[in-house]
Amino acid sequence: MSTLSQFGFGGGGGIKKILRGVIRLPTPAFNGAKTQVAIISPVDTSKSILYYLGVINGVSSQAYANGAYGTSTLAMIQLTTSTTITATIGDNNQNFGASATSTPPTISWQLVEYY
């Protein structure tokens, strides 16, 4: 059985910092992807784990009723620097967000830094 200490996490001091947030992305164009960054307080990237908590696709209910949108939104996040989380959303070959009443997709995340 693996433990976090085997991977260099939590070997002696446990959790140092927990950060949580959301990143609202620009609405992707048809068959495209968009990125957005979040600036966070500095962390040691070698002792941090970034958790993807989910995405809310902000398309309008009218767009779903019209059959203009698919049912999946591809999204990912990564800790790109000690102070930056980058989120990317793709449209999986669907036309997400074309409606004027849509709101951008929002990604939830949590970062845990260990001693």
Scored b (16 or more CB within 10 A) or e, 51-71 reads eeeebebbbbeebeeeebbee
Cα(9)–Cα(12) distance, integer angstroms: 8
Cβ atoms 112, 48 nearer than 8 A:
yes
Average pLDDT over all residues of the chain:
73
Low-confidence stretches of the chain (pLDDT beneath 50): 1-2, 10, 29-30, 60-71, 93-101
Two tokens at 71? 């049912």
**pLDDT at position 3, please?**
53
pLDDT at position 8 is 56
Spatial strand order in the sheet of 33-39: 33-39, 84-90, 74-81
pTM of the model: 0.69
Domain spans of the chain, in order of start: 20-114
pLDDT in tens, 75-93: 789 999 999 999 887 655 3
Is the CB of residue 68 less than 8 Å from the CB of residue 99?
yes
